[in-house]
Every structure is written in C-alpha cells, then in structure tokens.
Amino acid sequence: MIKTRKGPARLCQGDIFRGIEFIEYVMEKAGIVEISKIVFPLVIVLTQDCDLEQDHRRFKSSISQDHDKWLLSVLVAPLYNVEHVYQGEHLSELNMQMQKINPKKTPGEYLKDNRLPRFHYLEFPGNVPIVPSVIDFKHYFSVNVNYLHRVKKTKFVCSVSSLFREAISQRFASYLARIGLPELSNP
Amino acid sequence: MHDKLPFSKEYQSASETKAEVPILSEVVPQDQIKIDTERYRMAKPKRIIIRAEITHDKDKKRTRTTMPR
C-alpha cells in the first residue's frame, strides 16, 4: 500500500486527477472540424516536482525577468484498474485487446511486487476512493499546464506522498531509459 | 477568427469551467471529494469524437477557413 496526502495548492509530482482528456488529433476539412480525444478516468503526474515547483513561482511573483522556467505541458500516465489489466481489457473501449496477466501465477505476483519494469502497481489507503491500480509506463502523454491548473479544484483526487512518488518516478525513468536491443536470429 | 464552434453539449460543459486560472489557494479536502467509487471501479478510458461545422455568425452560415500554404 502507498501513502497519500492532500498536497499543497500547486501541482505536484504524484498528483492524481480524474477525467483528464488526451487530444488525439484535431482536423479541419471543408469547414468541418473533427476532434478526437480520449478521456482517462485517472492519471498521475510524472513531471519532476522541482520543475513544477519552479513553474509555480510564476504565479507568486514577477521577480523573474524571463520565462525560462515556465512549463508548456505536464507529463501524466493513466491509472488502470488492476482487475481490468489482469483480463487484458483495460483498453477495451478503445478497441484494444491487451495481454492477459494471470494474478495467481508468477506474472501476476511479479506485477503486484513491482518486479515487472513496465508496470507499477498501486494500492491506496481506505480513505482514497481508488481501487488497486496499475500504471503502464508505455502509456504516457502530456497535458497543458494551464489546463491542469484550471481543473485542479474539480478533478484533483489525492497526491501520492513523496517517497512513493519518487519510487514511481525512478522506475518510470529507468523504463524510459532502457536500451532496446534487436532480436537477432541464429545464423 | 471564428466566433464560435458549435461543439457538442458535453464539450461545452467541459470547456466552460468557471474556475479561474490559477487556482492556488485551495485544495479539495479528501473528505469532501465525492466520487462514485463503483463507477470508477468500472471506468475505462473512452474515445470521444466531436465533429463541428465552423461558423462565423449566429446564422451558422458555412464558411471555409483559410489555410496557410
């Protein structure tokens, strides 16, 4: 189980929001605009907390002469219900069938122990209304920083406390920095 | 500039939030968050596609946008 907190007023690494939209594309043809978006029930902020803290200073004072520390976007990753992940059904409404993970066998046990580099398993305390969830480090996207500020009041759920969010951050960075080697066939 | 895009009602409600930017002084206390836990237990990511005709005025006269070449 992880530890959560209410968090300060600014955006923080480890903040969890609900109902966050990811814009897939915006197209215009013959006067018709088409927008495709995915609404994620829950996402967690992955952007480094020091970057978020420095970005936040823009609201506090006008001392800075430039906008060097301002962020354009915030990196987030969706949280999926672990029961859906076991079934490979967590993206079924996007017409995607994912690999099944048997919770009673080694892959499922490894998932819950955070021994699979691709996934991060989270269990929340009883006062947080989130079921056991999984972050898939292959799935991440950016959200406009002003948009997150705007919806913080209505869509903020909780914030993962610092030690636990650093574990997530470190594992995410490690997964992203992995070296992909080609599969070589035997001669 | 286009005055208005006749987006769906859902999109309008999502975009017409009354919250001011930035919201810095308040964080929703944990015990005041009311989330339908059962709904979130079942919720999965959903794709929404919005199509809207670009109009310049209230008559919704169809117009083309000028695209840079």
Facing residue for A39 by CB, picked from B5, B46, B64: B46
Kindly report whether the global pTM for this prediction surpasses the value 0.90. Answer: no
DSSP state of A170: H
Name chain B contacts of A21, Cβ cutoff 8 Å: 14
- SS3 label, residue A45: strand
Query: Residue B6 and residue B11: Cα distance in Å, rounded?
Result: 10
Give tens-digit pLDDT for A25-44: 999 888 888 999 999 999 99
Give tens-digit pLDDT for A74-126: 999 999 999 999 999 999 999 999 999 999 999 999 999 999 999 999 998 88
Q: What are the structural domains, with CATH classification, of chain A?
A: 2-61+68-176 (2.30.30.110)
CA-only gyration radius of chain A, Å? 19
Q: How far from chain centre, in Å, is Cα A105?
A: 26
List chain B pLDDT tens, one digit each, 69 residues: 343 343 334 444 444 434 343 333 344 444 555 555 555 567 899 999 988 887 765 555 554 444 444
With CB atoms and an 8 Å threshold, state whether A36 touches B21. no
Facing residue for A32 by CB, picked from B17, B35, B53: B53
Q: By C-alpha distance, which of A93, A43, A94 is closest to A73?
A: A43
**Most B CBs within 10 Å: which of A16, A37, A70, as the mutation test of the B interface?**
A37
With CB atoms and an 8 Å threshold, state whether A151 touches B35. no
Query: Residue A84 and residue A27: Cα distance in Å, rounded?
Result: 32
Q: What pLDDT is stored for residue A9 in this prediction?
A: 75
Spatial CB neighbours of A142, under 8 Å, sequence gap ≥ 6: A73, A74, A75, A76
- If you count residue pairs, one on A and one on B, with CB atoms under 8 Å apart, how many are there? 127
**Most B CBs within 10 Å: which of A11, A95, A154, as the mutation test of the B interface?**
A154
Q: List the end-to-end C-alpha distance of chain B, in Å, as a whole number.
A: 18
Name chain A contacts of B41, Cβ cutoff 8 Å: 81, 131
Under a CB-based contact definition with an 8 Å cutoff, are residues A80 and A134 in contact? Answer: yes
- Which of A10-24, A81-95, A165-179, B49-63 is the least confident region? B49-63
- Is B5 an 8 Å CB contact of chain A? yes
pLDDT at A180 over 50: yes
